[in-house]
A and B are shown apart, each in its own frame.
Chain A
């Protein structure tokens, strides 16, 4: 492996037993190991939730299908949504943040390593609790069933009257527990970014990755807490006889919606900002140019963070709010498109005039740009409230948010995996397999989610286990389902590539991409202490300065 960095004098290391090595991983507080644990955890749940989605799509492949019963279907879509958001995407993003943040800011670990481990295990426990419901919840119809109230669990469907047994409680408690983990991670990220940057790295000189995760962490603090509060209220209703959402006692079902979406909307920015972070690191490197408009990118990020706290009721346009309220949320929703669009333009400008290399990470990020553009525009369509009176709660929404989460966030995540895999493992992934994964997944994604918009436009609501023939939805649902298999194939290629390359990949070296941020200055994989000595930086691209001493960035920034 690499010999460039100073290491401790070598002492003979006895081979440790499997149990010892397992214990090391379970008891670790090292941010790199926790990051990898998060990623492995998320990959496992990606498979599980992907299977849930596949079963859903098989059931919907034709009208009046009976592949699964309505009860099972309703549990499937609830579990699929809840799992993907809380136990796939968030752990992936927290994993990357934990792994990369200290390396990118020149620190030795996160600010609170033990809090880091605690937060990870809370997330794990939450996921296990959610899935334990499959065997552990006793419903009216038999031993054990998963929650079936939808991932946003509207009241009063979640009251004891309409949700008999404990399945809803598993939903509530699993998210309460993992929410504690999320808040812990957010506190850790904020403290790390604000307190552990290496000398010279002012806030204006830290990588966009750090900025985006900082704002994301702030959003987690402000938005996961309302969900926690709402879930406490739900528990009080279900177990202590409270009336928060008890419409029979004068309570309000709408107030649950407000509380939930005050969480739910910033949550999607929690999911997307780290994806933007990946794109903001990958696109410059593979265009061979610095990110265009760094200060504007920071400003846009902060603006998105603020505005995202004010748009939540665009999920409630059909609920019967006053026209004044509807107007307010139309304007705030459209307003947030401005900084988001600015970001797309800045990435475009980064590529403009560059020398683009189409390696796998860049392929995924380029696809992200096209797809996120579409996703943003379908978002604008729904932001026009009367249009949303049709589009809302239909398959158009389902297509839109999958376009964001899969077409935007997951594509960037794949890009991030390929980009940082050499750093984390010291090995290069196989480029041919990477491209195969890309094309398979791209085809599958577009087959499924492009065509999914159409049933929505033709009146198909969401969360239905079957549909009537003769409404013009049949063919489109068939195409949507076919796309799933291409995506599954792509993911299998991805997993195979990761595993094969881990064992048999070519040695990567410190800096296989000729990149410019601090993580590429240390070994691959980095030693436990990250850096032999804490670096001192003068610009946003410290390695550019080292590689181009005659033309350093800090003369231009």
Chain B
């Protein structure tokens, strides 16, 4: 995976430590996972405890299509990272763009679901415990998708300007770690909200 070394390693000490960007991203992911866990715990705790208002079974339908889009974007970003590591910037750009599109479709799905919930089903964050915990949890995840898309779009812009090169592969990898995390969180959120909670 790494570029092939052209000089022999130093005779005395082999000293290789992890890359700082990767370690930092894992640490950040751990912190974010802890934040999400609290919202998930609150969601699970409050299942069935709303005193009034619409309940999940009445208004929620699992967004399978948008979920498939988001989870596929993990696959596309994986391919993109592979391409840039082997130096194929154009192909990288294509897969990267596809990732962004899939993420954007997912966001559109969330938005349209919320539109329906608010205007047709009368469920808002203030309606009841279900409303509060649902919008908070799904919203927090959506916020992380937005942040991720901002990062991905920034890289896209740089790619279009031609400044992204093979040597940036490690940084792309670190960013894609974040994106994989966002997708993994969605798996948890989807299970808790649309399967367990209904």
Question: Do A and B touch (CB < 8 Å)?
Answer: yes
- In angstroms, Cα B128 to Cα A249, docked, is 7
Question: How would residues 16 to 27 of chain B score, 1 for a CB under 8 Å from any chain A CB and 0 otherwise?
Answer: 011110011001
Across the interface, A243 reaches (CB within 8 A) one of B15, B38, B126, namely B126
User: Which residues A162-190 have CB closer than 8 A to chain B?
Assistant: 183, 186-188, 190
- Determine chain A's interface SS by DSSP, over half rule: helix
CB contacts (< 8 Å) of B27 on chain A: these are: 186-187, 190-191, 217, 221
Please tell me if the beta carbons of B34 and A225 are within 8 angstroms of each other in the complex.
yes
What's the count of A-B pairs with C-beta under 8 Å?
A: 113
Smallest beta-carbon distance A250→chain B, Å: 5
Please tell me if the beta carbons of B34 and A222 are within 8 angstroms of each other in the complex.
yes
- Interface residue range, chain B: 20 to 34
Does A251 touch B at the CB level, under 8 Å? yes
Please tell me if the beta carbons of A242 and B34 are within 8 angstroms of each other in the complex.
no
CB contacts (< 8 Å) of B32 on chain A: these are: 225
CB contacts (< 8 Å) of A229 on chain B: these are: 34-39
CB contacts (< 8 Å) of B45 on chain A: these are: 252, 255
- Interface residue range, chain A: 35 or more
Does A240 touch B at the CB level, under 8 Å? yes
Smallest beta-carbon distance B122→chain A, Å: 14
Does B42 touch A at the CB level, under 8 Å? yes
Smallest beta-carbon distance B1→chain A, Å: 18
Please tell me if the beta carbons of B129 and A196 are within 8 angstroms of each other in the complex.
no
Please tell me if the beta carbons of A243 and B24 are within 8 angstroms of each other in the complex.
no
CB contacts (< 8 Å) of B132 on chain A: these are: 236-237, 242-244
User: Which residues A250-292 have CB closer than 8 A to chain B?
Assistant: 250-252, 255, 259, 262
CB contacts (< 8 Å) of A224 on chain B: these are: 31
Across the interface, B51 reaches (CB within 8 A) one of A196, A199, A236, A250, namely A250
Please tell me if the beta carbons of A195 and B17 are within 8 angstroms of each other in the complex.
yes
Across the interface, B42 reaches (CB within 8 A) one of A115, A233, A240, namely A233
Please tell me if the beta carbons of A194 and B17 are within 8 angstroms of each other in the complex.
yes
Q: A111-B24, A236-B125, A243-B126 known; A196 and B17 CB under 8 Å? A: yes
CB contacts (< 8 Å) of A190 on chain B: these are: 23-24, 27
Question: How would residues 126 to 142 of chain B score, 1 for a CB under 8 Å from any chain A CB and 0 otherwise?
Answer: 10110011001000100
26 contacts between A and B (CB under 8 A): A112-B20, A112-B24, A183-B31, A190-B24, A191-B23, A191-B27, A194-B17, A194-B18, A195-B19, A200-B13, A221-B31, A221-B34, A225-B32, A226-B35, A226-B37, A229-B34, A229-B35, A229-B38, A230-B38, A233-B42, A242-B126, A244-B42, A249-B51, A251-B46, A251-B129, A252-B46
Which A residues are within 8 Å of any B CB, using their own CB? 111-112, 115, 183, 186-188, 190-192, 194-197, 199-200, 217, 221-226, 228-230, 232-233, 236-237, 240-244, 249-252, 255, 259, 262, 536
